[in-house]
Amino acid sequence: MDPLIQLLAINSNRSAKELSGILSLTEDEVRSRIAAAEADGTILGYNAVVDRQKAGHRGVTALVEVKITPEREGGFDRLARRIAKFDQVRECFLMSGGYDLAIIVEGKDLLDVANFIAEKLSTIGGVLSTATHFQLKAYKQAGFLANGSGDEERLPVSP
């Protein structure tokens, strides 16, 4: 992976000046490469990693396992893209193993997520079954420890 992209993936809040110093490039080169990566779709967007509990978020997040029937000529892609377009779907992945898609769904409460699954997701032709797992607490997200001071002791390792 491009070192600039790696640095932005870890902390997209770094300035062009800081990145230029790390990478031995000019600030203009950094800005130009970032603009090119945004234009060609390498960089899809930027997000802050937020401790949702501290931010007062009271919504519900669920991991939904979805089994679907692959389509002739298109495999899983067309159906996966259709599912990914719903506003409630935050992430959508093709998976190996016992189910085909893993989707992360957000809603204002349990009923909101349940209604999405029952009324929208499950009614799509080609969706065979779903299994929903509600998130209870986040310990780590996007590489950052959550809901803690970060100074917990490491567990001892025994031989």
Residues 69 and 110 in one domain: yes
Q: Give tens-digit pLDDT for 55-83.
A: 888 899 999 999 999 988 888 999 999 99
Residue 84 domain-assigned? yes
Considering the domain architecture, whether residues 26 and 72 belong to the same structural domain is answered as no
**Orientation of helix 27-39 relative to helix 16-23, angle to 10°:** 110
Residue range(s) defining the domain that contains residue 22? 3-39
Is residue 15 included in any domain, yes or no? yes
Does the predicted TM-score (pTM) go above 0.85? no
- Number of structural domains found in the chain: 2
Q: How far apart are CA 80 and CA 69, in angstroms?
A: 11
Q: What is the pLDDT of residues 2-18, one digit of tens each?
A: 999 999 988 899 999 99
